[in-house]
Structure 1
Amino acid sequence: MNQVTVGSYLAQRLEEVGIRDYFAIPGDFNLSLLDELLMNPRLKMINCCNELNAGYAADGYARENGVAALVLTFCVGGLSAVNAVAGAFAEDLPVIVVSGGPNVNSLMENRILHHTMARPEEGYKFVLAVYKEITAHAVVIREASTAAFRIDEAIRIALSAKKPVYIEIACNLAAALISKPNTLSLAPTRKSDPGSLKKALEHVAAFLNGSRQPVLVAGSRLRTGDATGAFEALAAKCAYGVACMPNAKSFFPETNSQFMGIYWGSASSPGCREVVESSDAYLFAGPVFSDYTTVGFSALIQPARLVEASPDRILVGGQVYHGIVLSEFLTGLASKLNPNPTSLDAYLRIKETAHVIPPAAPKELSLSTRQLFHHINESLDGTTTVVAETGDSWFNGMDLHLPDGCKFEIQMQYGSIGWSVGAFLGLAAANPQRRVIGLIGDGSFQMTAQEVSTILRYNYSGVIFLMNNGAYTIEVMIHDGPYNTLQNWNYAAMVETLKGQSSILSQTVRTEKELVAALKKSRTFKGLTFIEVILDRTDCNKALLGWGTAVADYNGGKRKNAAG
């Protein structure tokens, strides 16, 4: 048979680009499409509780798998997912959003349809208009004859741009027959402009080789440019001290002897800021200089000392070189740099050596955040992925010392609280062999708690640490008020109600002794462990205090030194 349905064509394309699972919310405009997708035995549908959480799950899946798919119904589904898709755009994650759309016949007859704003005269393209603002490409398919081309084009753009795309398929076309697909022809691998690359390499190599104390700093867009391996190879060749921006934590091995810590302005690891900002040359690879990553633009990065290597351009000394592939630039630079360990030597001289304290018996006193994260750190290994929610978990997470292979995920550019619950699901689905650990505050959890139900439904394992301090701690530190106080929940009891026929190990801990006992149980439990940790409202990471003040000052119009 030389024909397939539009839906099965889409399924094959999703499979070809490496998607094994897709996140879905059923609705009458996408039911026929879901029927077609379900006919592909190599694709698994993961039913989520709502579209926002499904979008967050797709975000997490794309981080681990490289690309994800999200299937929604028209308008009420599509618009409910907008926040998550915008976050994926901000974080450079290719999420293929597929929506069922109105029947073509209804459109031709100008019918007023449910799930819409009752404006048929506009052709029901308002959802498309919204998605054009938050994706790299948005398309409506209302003719079977164009379906194959439009599906392929959207998928190519998602993979090449590393951004979400939106594909809306009229509900009466999902089962329409079209020609069987050939092998998907992806866009050719992008290559650097040879002349531009040569000039950039010569300029940057001369600048760095002529400097006294150069450093390397990893940024989050190293992943966007598929350049983490090239960055690590460059570091090995040049012998510079290496730091990571907070949203690039784990992109460079923290066990590597060149690793100096996290560069985050005033919230940096001890000794790291001093070395980076005192250097006469710094190469930032894939950075995003935002108010969050620069602590309200207070980081002291001088443009005259900066090499900014982005996925598509290089900035050095006021000169911009376009048409450059980041991985090719970093690889080429490795062969041109002279080894110079001066910055690493400077760091080692001022590095604070942690005092080794003999382990003591766990105490019965109230549990502190510092004790909590000490024991979390002890539980990490090379198969762990840590997902840290926006808030105090960012700052405590930065203090974790990651073993080889351990991954760390945050949503720092978009910073949508509640993201981590769905992202936990997506990360677990993308690679069930890894153990996901979620660091989630109570305020964030209240946004998206019901997706724990989906984690249990599909038997994904891992540990969620729910930090219960009764407040939006990060907002308290930026600008406190009565709006930052939460209605307290009995979280450990609540998640028990979500398990259905699944099993969950759910506990509340108030002391270090109780925490240690809970962690011991979790190591042998096959499934999700949920640990509610009771903490004092004022017990937060000290770095958050200064960060919150700086961001509040910037929000209030108090200007400081701008990074970059």
Structure 2
Amino acid sequence: MSDHCTTTVGSYLASRLEEIGLEHYFAVPGDYNLVLLDKLLENKNLKMISCCNELNAGYAADGYCRATGGASAVFVTYSVGGLSLLNAVAGAYAEDLPVIAVSGGPNTNSEAEFEMLHHTLGELDYDYQREIFSKVTAEAVTIHDPREAPTQIDHAIQTALRFRKPVYIEIACNIASAVTSAPNVRSFGGPTASDPVSLKAAVERATEMLNAATKPVLVSGVKLRSFGAETSFHKLADASGYAIASMPNAKGMFDEQHPHYMGTYWGPVGSPGCGEIVDSSDLCLFAGGTFTDYTTTGHAALIDPTKVIQARPNSVIFPNQTFSNVKLAEFLEELSTKIKSNDGSMIAFKRIQEEVTPLSPGDPETPLSTRQLFSRIQNMLGSDSTVIAETGDSWFNGMQLNLPTGSRFEVQMQYGSIGWSVGATLGYSVGAPNRRPIALIGDGSFQLTAQEVSTIIRYDLKPIIFLMNNRGYTIEVEIHDGPYNTIKNWNYADLVKVFNAEDGNGWSCQVSTEGELDEAIKNAVSQNGPALIEVAIDRDDCSKNLLVWGGHVAKNNGRPPRFA
């Protein structure tokens, strides 16, 4: 805690970030936030991670939230920094991640004195950045008065934690060092509790419907994690006896070694047999699911909405009835004590379940295929693994991985911003030092954010990056091809040498055959620093499911306009 005589706005914010569990924050300096960064550095319990640019810093904050299950913080300068950060914060909003975005701001006297300032739009309006961020955050505040700073900071942090959304705090450059109140003891807590009457009624209705069903099914959704409901879902799965599926953006949030786990429910590109059981069930409970064109393969999933119960973060939706102010974790927890065990859907699944035959390795000189690459990645996975899959073919190949108990899987499927995974790998590595992330990144995506590998090297982090070089945007090729999907090739592995310079500990190599890949993986896992393996893949060598999915999404995108 800061002393009441020496607490500044900057040190107050640092103390609050420490209180809510942060050990690191991400930053890019600029003249409007330099004094603020000085004040943050005075707190020795927080460590600054300096990033190459603001977009990557935001992606890193995204990854840190995923790794820790809590909040993260990112600090930038005004306008040129804040607007560069904006895209990453929008992604965090879409993905329910409480990123605290902090920007330095103009001197409080500048607007009153009609000063034209650098880094701005050249107009006497200095509230535009806060207004823009208000569209992609749950709260956006500007701090101009040190007396009001504690209330504004506390409210913003409380909002981020309660609603699992980013918030924006702008601190004028001459306010960061201004004296304010010392932080008083308080609880920030998380989401509020359910209305007990609504909760009881929703559980009773769900129990009645599920116990009357013949072949009920459970499906896990991405919002289980953001709203603290993973453990409750596991309890319900154990109590129910139902067959269990996961939506694609929720992969890794339910133990794939559970005896009743079927696989990924993803319409025509889901796990074999899984879609058939879900679609033919007489009642499905989707817990924390999102139904977008991406998660439903261009809305090609065949689930009958009259046979679905949707448990959302703050409500439960039945076919003809809605219960509001019911929290997801509490609903699942209560329901697990009420339902009767029913293995009807699991018996049906076992009748059609397909045995998966492991892919045998080829001759060491055999040119690499994505199937052989991912068979090797499968063998690398352990309970402390986290797979970070970039938007693109890595989604579809990654979905085929059989995750050991305890392992995790990260995608940004709602927002789908290519390049996200490089910064997210940085942030995840910082936030989960006892895990070794395995990042799966296509060459097109990598070109957007490659420089953050140098930050990974700078802080001696240890992810293993598989860089798939197929010379283009494969996911875009399968949705709609054109010359814009071809990119300039790089010697990607050589970038690690550039980023190492005189003091780095990164390791890299290029591989094009199965034998070279096997040797590279042995070297990568033995490294005491980051490893990047550039894998040469044929341009047309992509997952069969990407071809199917791309066709459905293209069809959905290409629907002609309807005019009255």
Matches within 5 A, 1:478-493: 478-493=479-494
Corresponding residue number in structure 1 for 2:557 = 555
| Aligned AA (2:232) | A
Which of 67, 71, 78 is residue 75 of structure 2 equivalent to?
71
Corresponding residue number in structure 1 for 2:113 = 109
| Aligned AA (1:137) | E
In the alignment, does 2:28 pair up with 1:28?
A: no
Spell out, residue by residue over 1:360-382, the C-alpha distance to the aligned partner (whole angstroms, 9 max, x if none).
Answer: 56520110000000000100111
State the alpha-carbon separation in 2 of the partners of residues 164 and 465 from structure 1: 30
State the alpha-carbon separation in 1 of the partners of residues 339 and 310 from structure 2: 16
SS at the partner of 2:197? helix
State the alpha-carbon separation in 1 of the partners of residues 509 and 210 from structure 2: 53
State the alpha-carbon separation in 2 of the partners of residues 408 and 444 from structure 1: 18
8 Å contact from structure 2 (residues 195, 326) kept in 1 = yes
8 Å contact from structure 1 (residues 152, 184) kept in 2 = no
Corresponding residue number in structure 1 for 2:321 = 319
Matches within 5 A, 1:51-200: 51-65=54-68, 66-120=70-124, 122=125, 124-186=126-188, 190-200=192-202
SS at the partner of 1:261? strand
8 Å contact from structure 1 (residues 385, 435) kept in 2 = yes
8 Å contact from structure 1 (residues 362, 516) kept in 2 = no
Matches within 5 A, 1:463-502: 463-500=464-501, 501-502=503-504
State the alpha-carbon separation in 1 of the partners of residues 200 and 560 from structure 2: 42
Corresponding residue number in structure 2 for 1:374 = 375
Distance 1:189 1:438, change over 3 A: closer
Deviation at 1:355, TM superposition (A): 2.9
| Aligned AA (2:50) | N
Corresponding residue number in structure 1 for 2:45 = 42
Corresponding residue number in structure 1 for 2:407 = 406
State which drifts further: 260-269 or 174-183: 174-183
| Aligned AA (1:450) | Q
| Aligned AA (1:369) | T
State the alpha-carbon separation in 2 of the partners of residues 404 and 187 from structure 1: 29
State the alpha-carbon separation in 2 of the partners of residues 278 and 479 from structure 1: 32
Corresponding residue number in structure 2 for 1:562 = none
Corresponding residue number in structure 1 for 2:385 = 384
Spell out, residue by residue over 1:83-134, the C-alpha distance to the aligned partner (whole angstroms, 9 max, x if none).
Answer: 10000000000000011100112222110000001211x3x00001100000
| Aligned AA (2:559) | G
SS at the partner of 2:451? helix
Size of the aligned set, in residue pairs, is 556
State the alpha-carbon separation in 1 of the partners of residues 81 and 357 from structure 2: 53
8 Å contact from structure 2 (residues 506, 530) kept in 1 = yes
| Aligned AA (2:21) | G
Which of 223, 236, 249 is residue 221 of structure 1 equivalent to?
223
Corresponding residue number in structure 1 for 2:441 = 440
Deviation at 1:159, TM superposition (A): 0.3
| Aligned AA (1:488) | N
Deviation at 1:442, TM superposition (A): 0.3
Spell out, residue by residue over 1:483-541, the C-alpha distance to the aligned partner (whole angstroms, 9 max, x if none).
Answer: 10111111011221011211111100000000000011112110011000000000000
8 Å contact from structure 1 (residues 7, 175) kept in 2 = yes
For structure 1, the residue ranges without an aligned partner over 5 or more in a row are 560-564
State the alpha-carbon separation in 2 of the partners of residues 397 and 493 from structure 1: 26
State the alpha-carbon separation in 2 of the partners of residues 208 and 520 from structure 1: 49
SS at the partner of 1:498? helix
Corresponding residue number in structure 1 for 2:11 = 8
8 Å contact from structure 2 (residues 162, 190) kept in 1 = no
State the alpha-carbon separation in 1 of the partners of residues 287 and 521 from structure 2: 37
State the alpha-carbon separation in 1 of the partners of residues 517 and 363 from structure 2: 9
TM-score, length-normalised on structure 1?
0.97
TM-score, length-normalised on structure 2?
0.97
In the alignment, does 2:386 pair up with 1:420?
A: no
8 Å contact from structure 2 (residues 221, 289) kept in 1 = yes
| Aligned AA (2:94) | A
Aligned-pair identity (%): 53
Deviation at 1:259, TM superposition (A): 0.5
Off by >3 Å, runs of 4+ in structure 1: 359-362
8 Å contact from structure 1 (residues 13, 184) kept in 2 = no
Deviation at 1:189, TM superposition (A): 5.3
State which drifts further: 32-41 or 193-202: 193-202
Root mean square deviation, CA, Å: 1.2
State the alpha-carbon separation in 1 of the partners of residues 337 and 150 from structure 2: 44
State the alpha-carbon separation in 2 of the partners of residues 230 and 558 from structure 1: 43
Spell out, residue by residue over 1:121-152, the C-alpha distance to the aligned partner (whole angstroms, 9 max, x if none).
Answer: x3x00001100000000000001110111000
Matches within 5 A, 1:202-241: 202-241=204-243
Spell out, residue by residue over 1:192-226, the C-alpha distance to the aligned partner (whole angstroms, 9 max, x if none).
Answer: 11111111111111111111100000000111220
State which drifts further: 198-207 or 526-535: 198-207
State the alpha-carbon separation in 1 of the partners of residues 131 and 500 from structure 2: 39
| Aligned AA (1:411) | Q
